[in-house]
Structure 1
Amino acid sequence: MTRIINRQPGRYGRLVLGLMPFVILLAVYIVASDARLAENPSDKLLPSLSSFVDAITRMGFEPSKRTGEYLMWNDTLASLHRLCMGVGISALIGLAIGVGNGMIPFMRSPLSPLVTALSLIPPMAILPILFITFGLGELSKVVLIVIGICPIIIRDIQLRTDSLPNEQLIKAQTLGGNSWQIIARVVLPQTLPRLIEAVRLTLGSAWLFLIAAEAIAATEGLGYRIFLLRRYLAMDVILPYVFWITLLAFSMDWSLKRLSILAFPWYHKEQGGRHE
C-alpha cells in the first residue's frame, strides 16, 4: 500500500492544488459581497469586483488631478526603494558579522551577545526613537528595516557557519590556507545560499516594518496610501493595495528562490531537492 507521505502530486496537480485555496477565497468573497450589496448598495466594507477595477484604473492608470502623478506606481517605487535599501544593507551586514561570529572567536565573544540582545528588542518599540534621531525622512525607515531583520540574518548565518564540517576547515588548513583564504574559498560559498534563504524568511518582517513606518511618517508609499484612505473606508482601494503588496512580496520571494536554485544547485540537491 502506498503511504500518503510518499505520494507526490504531478506538475499540473501542484498547480491546481496551489490555486484552489485562492479560488475558494475569491468565491466566498463574491458571495459575501453580493449579499451585503443586495442589502445595502452603499456598503463600503465588501466592494464589488467592478469597484476594484474602477479603483485600480483610477489609481494606476489615470494621473492624479492634484499632482499629475500615477499614484499607485509612485507609491510602489517609493516603497520598493526603501525596502530594497533596508534588505540589501541587512544582507551585507548579516553576511559579514554572521560569518565573522561563526569563524573568529575574538569577534564572536563581544558581538554574539550583543546581536542576541538586539534581536529581542521589538523594533516597533524604538520607532519613535528612530524618528527623533534620524528625522522623518527616508533614513529612519531604512534603519527600522535594518534593525528589524539584520540581527535575525546574523544569527542565521552564524548558525550556518558553525554547522560546517570541521573536516573541511582542517583540510583547508592542512593545505596551507590562511584564515582569510579559508573564509573566502570554503566558508562563503557554502554560506551564500543560506543567506538567500535568510533574506526570504525575513521579507515578510521587512514589509511589516516598512508599512508601519510609512503609515506614521511618509508622504508617499504603499503603507502611507493605505492608512491615508482608511479614514474614508475606501476598501475598493485598500484591498487592491493589500493584494498588490502580497503580489510584490511573492514575486520577490520567487525570484530569490530561482536565483538560489540557478546559482547553487548543489545546495538544493543536498537539501533533498525540495525547492521550497
Structure 2
Amino acid sequence: MKRLINLTPPPASKLFLGLLPFALLLLLYVVASDARLAENANDKLLPAFSQMGAAIDRMALEPSKRTGEYLFWQDTASSMKRLGLGVLIAAAIGLALGLFTGSLPLVNAGFSPLLTVVSLIPPLAILPVLFILFGLGEASKVILIAIGITPFIARDIQRRTQEIPSEQLVKAQTLGANTSQIMVRVLLPQLMPKLIDAVRLSLGAGWLFLIAAEAIAATDGLGYRIFLVRRYMSMDVILPYVAWITLLAFLFDWLLATLSRRLFPWNAQGAH
C-alpha cells in the first residue's frame, strides 16, 4: 500500500487537479451571486458575470465622454509603463550593487551593512517623502517601485555571486584576467539568469507599490481606477480589474521564465 506522500498524479490528473480549485471557486461565486441578486436585484457586492462583462465592455470598447479615451486600455498602458520603468531601474541598480558587493570584499565591507538597513525600511513609509521631493507626477511612482524592490534584487544577486565557486576565479586569474575581466566574463554571464529569477520573485512587491502609489496620487492607472470606483461600490469594475491585474502578473512571470529558458538554457538544465 502506497503512502500518500509517494503518490504522484499522472499528467492528465495533474491538469484536472490544478483546474479543480478554480472551478470550485467560480461555482461558489456564481451560487453566492445568484442568491444575493435573487434577494436584491440592485445588490452590488457580488455582481453577476453579465454585469461585470457589461462594465468592462463599457470601459474597454467605448470612449470616455469626458476624455475620449478608452479608460481600460489607458489605465493598463499607464500602469505597465510605471511598472516596467520601475522594475528596469531596480534590475539595473540591483545587478550592479549585488555584483560589486558580492565579488569585491572592500565594497562588501563598506556597502553591505547599508544595503541591509535600506532593505528593512518599509517603502510605503517613505512615499510621502517621495511626493515632497519629486511631486505627484510619474517620477515618484516609478522611484517608489525601484526603491521597493532594488534591495531584494541586490541582496539576491550578492548571494548568488558569492555562491559561484572560487575555483573559477582562481582559474581566470591564472590565465591573466584582471578584476574587470573576471566580473564581466566570468561572473556576469552566470548572474544574468539569476537576475531574471530575482525580478520574477520581486514582481509581486512591485505590483503592490504600483497600486499603492496610484491609489494615493494618480489620474489614471489600474490602481487609481480601483480606488476611484470603490466610492460607488462598483464591484462590477473592481473585480474584473483585479482579475486583469492577476492575468498581467501571470503573463509577466511567464514571459520572464520563457526568456530565461531561451537565453540561458544551461541554467534551466542545471536547475533540474
2:224 matched residue in structure 1: 224
**1:176 and 2:179 are equivalent in the alignment:** no
CA distance in 2, matches of 1:110, 1:14: 50
Partner of 1:269: 269
User: What is the aligned partner in structure 2 of residue 133 from structure 1?
Assistant: 133
**Helix, strand or coil: the match of 2:259?**
helix
Matched, 1:145 2:145: yes
- Structure 1 length-normalised TM: 0.95
Unaligned 5+ segments in structure 2 are none
Partner residue in 2 for 1:258: 258
Percent identity over the alignment is: 63
**Corresponding position of 1:34:** 34
- Mean CA deviation greater in 36-45 or 78-87: 36-45
Q: Give the aligned CA root-mean-square deviation in angstroms.
A: 1.3
Report the CA distance shift for 1:6/1:260 in structure 2 as closer, same or farther (over 3 A).
farther
Amino acid at match of 1:98: G
Quote how far apart the aligned CAs of 1:134 are: 0.5
1:122 paired residue number: 122
Q: What does residue 44 of structure 1 align with?
A: 44
Distance 1:5 1:156 in 2: 32
Provide the C-alpha distance between the structure 2 equivalents of 1:166 and 1:2, rounded to a whole number of angstroms: 44
Asked if residue 92 in structure 1 is aligned to residue 72 in structure 2, the reply is no
Structure 1 runs not aligned, ≥5 long: none
Q: 1:16 to 1:180 in 2, by over 3 A?
A: same
1:206 and 2:182 correspond: no
Which residue of structure 2 aligns with residue 167 of structure 1? Answer: 167
CA shift, 1:210, in A, is 0.3
**TM-score, normalized by length of structure 2?**
0.97
Equivalent residue of 1:246, what SS? helix
**Quick one: distance in 2 between partners of 1:267 and 1:3?**
33
| Whole-Å separation in 1 of the counterparts to 2:12 and 2:192 | 32
Runs of 4 or more above 4 Å deviation: 1-8
Number of the residue aligned with 2:247: 247
Distance in 1 (alpha carbons) for counterparts of 2:201 and 2:271:
17
2:77 — aligned with what? 77
In structure 1, C-alpha distance between the alignment counterparts of 2:90 and 2:121, rounded to whole Å: 16
User: Aligned-pair distance for 1:2?
Assistant: 5.7
In the alignment, which residue of structure 2 is the partner of 1:155? Answer: 155
Cα deviations across residues 6-38 of structure 1 (Å, max 9, x unaligned)? 554444433322222111111110011011111
How far off its partner does 1:208 sit?
0.3
CA distance in 2, matches of 1:14, 1:169: 44
Count of residues in correspondence between the two structures: 272
Aligned residue type for 2:112: S
